[in-house]
Amino acid sequence: MQNNIHTFYTISTIFYSCTMSGNNADTKEGVFRSNVRLFSLRHEHVRTAGAEKRSSVKTHRRFISRVICVSSMGRKNRTRQRAQPNRDGRPEGKRNRDDAGWGAGYSEIIKENKLFEHYYTELKIVPEGEFEEFMEAMREPLPATIRITGYKSHAKEILHTLKEKYFKEVQDLEVDGQKIEAPQPLSWYPDELAWHTNLSRKILRKSPLLEKFHQFLVSETESGNISRQEAVSMIPPLLMKIEPQHKILDMCAAPGSKTAQLIEMLHSDMDIPFPEGFVIANDVDNKRCYLLVHQAKRLNSPCIMVVNHDASSIPRLHFDQDGKKDILFYDRILCDVPCSGDGTMRKNIDVWKKWTTSNSIHLHGLQIRIAVRGVEQLAVGGRMVYSTCSLNPIEDEAVIAALLEKSEGALELADASADLPGLKYMPGITSWKVMTKEGQWFSDWSEVPTSRHTQIRPTMFPPTDPEKLANMKLERCMRILPHHQNTGGFFVAVLVKKAPMPWNRRHPKLRNKEVNSSSETAAAEELQMGESLADVPPADGSSADAPVEAVEGETPAEGNPSVPDTPDPSEVKKDHVCGPPPPKKMKLFGFKEDPFVFLTEDDPIFPPIQAFYDLSPDFPKLNVLTRTREGKKRNLYMVSKELRNVLLNNSERMKVINTGVKVWSRNNDGEQFGCAFRLAQEGIYTLCPYIRARIINISVEDVKVLLTQENPFLSKLGDDAHTQAKKLEMGSIVLRYLPDPQDLDAPQCPIDLCGWRGKTSIRAFVSRNECLHYLRMVGVEVFRDKQGKRNDGSTETEEESTEDAEGLSQEADLLEQEGEETEQNANGTEPVSSTCDGPTS
């Protein structure tokens, strides 16, 4: 057997040397690959000759793979040599990311589109005399923008680190004789939590100080404390005026930067682990939903649910309210619809070549359907923000005008001019025309020939009645132009719902909270929609003894909750004004998700957890769920009470991709210490208000020891922490740092870390990026050089387990496996270029 293996090595080497020599290398490479395939067939016969020899066979397979890899590399190199280089040495058509702002840019793409210039010159959306400046800005690379995320106290610490360390160092820096322009805060973003910079990748590589800054940004982004996001993409969530009790729907949420903003606003008060409100984030693309899950999971919130539906037919949800089954109406809705994306030309350079007016014409109908579905599910008094990253009025004012006309006074455009002081924008326009891709213009629907009626619709034109047009107040819309504040192009409008939509068959009852008439947004916070159980059709779609009236468009015959509201034919007008677009049925596709199973009142796994951590009596154990119906429960998650309500009442009518935050992970060896579940770092801030045992209070120096040493002995802790640790039995623990207001040099926000108390040592279970984050907070430099060494000279290694034999090695394995359900499903996802959210990594 060994002789055969040796012979095969020799033969394969000869094959490679013979077939890869000569001028016609491409042909000979094909011969070599054929020989390798024949050789592999013979190799399979050898593999089956004896199981004891499989290790040698595997070694040989790796050899074959390397040979093929070298072969492929040779082909790529020959292709590269044949390509004609440009003046700067780059092959024709290849991207040069260094030429553009941080993380964007193509090379040698001509940034011109005569049809684009002609169209927007004619529409006059740009002030007179500014069009050349507008076009110059569109051709410039888009500055990179970062937003500091997370709970407010942690965000302030990160901002302090940025301003006092990295920005000061960059401010006086020169690279190749050129002074570096320091990052600047966005003037209109609250609390200086958003910054933009023109630093390119080429410059970032040239200076060690900038390399430190870059590593800081990458690490903090991975741990969810900083988000790469385009500046204009941050505007819609700010205009929604989120409060912790609001029920929020994000209709087209992926990749999730805006969704992250919404979650942060819900958790504005860090002392409330379970806000009354929640965010339901939806996207039609199953793969992009997992990108959305990745974004949301970085914030570790129990108040987020990701669902997968067509936004134009997103199902109406039910929930229990005071013993009755109500229909869920949202206090806030973000309607960031798919668009042509011509406002993103500065970062999506392909739009220059592909732009045509037909893009907007094709999307107009879908945008109206999504927006109509949104306002149908909006509570009376609620706010819906409609936005696009397009400058085209067919996708912008035309959609808003159609909504207002259909609503017959139920909707009103809100004046948001004072909401973001410092933001420069142009008011919405009231007159526009429609142009075909051939350059033919139409000023009114009456001018459109019959042959084009299927492409061009009446709703694409402004209302012809001057009084009706004036009452719409379209000038309250906001269009952001790139040259005004060095951003991308964007459009946003804020709609307030004053009454139910006219095509609804019944008006839901109003249930007042505390009424406050002093502000326009008060109604959105204090009015909720109710509906009695008798009004809801049976879940199976069957009718009762007497016909049941449909719930806002749900027909008793079908009982299909996924079909959007349909108008009463008697109420639909014939002038194309009142009534929503025709309904579309929901389609389920993509991966089949594991079930969401809540623990029962008498579940046997919970009493040991309750006793081990001494959970307070008000702990909401009914909010704990798992993702398996049978077998051992591996991970336990928590959701808020309101999301539990939604899940239990809508399991058959919506496709849930992910919800909840992980709070416990199974550790089989932990059973001998009294509990089979250890704490998970993701859910530590959710659990900590309820945990009354297994807590060690630590100092700043203890934090440094725990995060810089692999498994420090208990004696390495300070006297106070050491004394506390010795009193605890082995097992999972909470390591808690509380800020000292007198010590301004120390972090001024609380820090909670999951840990493990071993027989003689202690360990913090924190991911690498979170470890770097907390070390920076306590003033430890964690810059890594090219060899992966930290500044103290120690080489960074993967998290290993060398703890006592009492189960800590298994703990390390569990730590590395955290979140793998999401990672497995997220493989292969690709971002879509029509979004105006920035990169997510």
Contacts of 510 (CB under 8 A, 6+ apart): 380, 527, 528, 529, 530
Q: How many CA atoms lie within 13 A of 65 on its CB side?
A: 6
| Residue 234 DSSP class | G
Contacts of 159 (CB under 8 A, 6+ apart): 148, 191, 192, 193
User: Could you tell me if 386 and 371 are in contact, meaning their C-beta atoms sit under 8 angstroms apart?
Assistant: yes
Helices 25-47 and 54-82 meet at what angle, rounded to 10?
170
For the record, the structure tokens of 632 come out as 């051992």
Render 686-702 in DSSP notation, one character per residue. Answer: HHGGGB-SSEEE--HHH
Q: What is the number of other CB atoms lying within 10 angstroms of the CB of residue 582?
A: 8
Confirm or deny that 477 is annotated as ligand binding: no
CA distance linking residue 279 with residue 290, whole number of Å = 16
Confirm or deny that 390 is annotated as ligand binding: no
CA distances from 77 to 22, 91, 133, 351, 653 (A): 16, 12, 43, 31, 54
Q: Strands, E, within 741-804: which ranges?
A: 751-757, 762-764
CA distances from 80 to 24, 77, 437 (A): 16, 5, 38
CA distance linking residue 789 with residue 797, whole number of Å = 9
Confirm or deny that 253 is annotated as ligand binding: yes
CA distance linking residue 521 with residue 525, whole number of Å = 7
> Angle 727-731-733 (CA atoms, 0-180°, nearest 5)?
75
Q: What is the number of other CB atoms lying within 10 angstroms of the CB of residue 132?
A: 10
Confirm or deny that 322 is annotated as ligand binding: no
Closest CA to 363 of 392, 333, 334, 335: 392
Q: Strands, E, within 255-328: which ranges?
A: 278-282, 304-307, 318-321, 324-327
Q: How many CA atoms lie within 13 A of 133 on its CB side?
A: 11
Confirm or deny that 396 is annotated as ligand binding: no
Q: Is 800 helix (H, G, I), strand (E, B) or coil?
A: coil
Closest CA to 209 of 248, 182, 191: 182
CA distance linking residue 351 with residue 172, whole number of Å = 37
Residue among 335, 339, 389, 754 flagged as catalytic: 389
Render 149-161 in DSSP notation, one character per residue. Answer: -S-HHHHHHHHHH
Contacts of 519 (CB under 8 A, 6+ apart): none
Active site residue 389: yes
Amino acid identity, position 350: D
DSSP-assigned beta bridge partners for residue 656: 307
Which pairing describes strands 247-250 and 434-435: parallel, antiparallel, or unpaired?
A: unpaired
> Angle 218-223-225 (CA atoms, 0-180°, nearest 5)?
85
Q: Strands, E, within 461-526: which ranges?
A: 478-480, 490-497, 509-512
Confirm or deny that 336 is annotated as ligand binding: yes
Amino acid identity, position 141: P
Q: What are the φ/ψ torsions at residue 62 (nearest 5 degrees)?
A: -65, -35
Rg (CA), the chain: 30
> By CB neighbour count within 10 A (0-12 exposed, 13-18 middle, 19+ buried), where does 293 fall?
buried
Q: What is the 3-state secondary structure (H, E, C) of 382-402?
A: EEEEEEECCCCCCCCHHHHHH
Q: Is 820 helix (H, G, I), strand (E, B) or coil?
A: helix
Confirm or deny that 254 is annotated as ligand binding: yes
Question: Which residue matches tokens 């033969």?
Answer: 11
CA distances from 298 to 220, 651, 655, 694, 815 (A): 11, 25, 22, 25, 16
Catalytic residues: 389
Binding site for S-adenosyl-L-methionine, by residue number, is 252-258, 283, 310, 336
Binding site, by residue number, is 252-258, 283, 310, 336
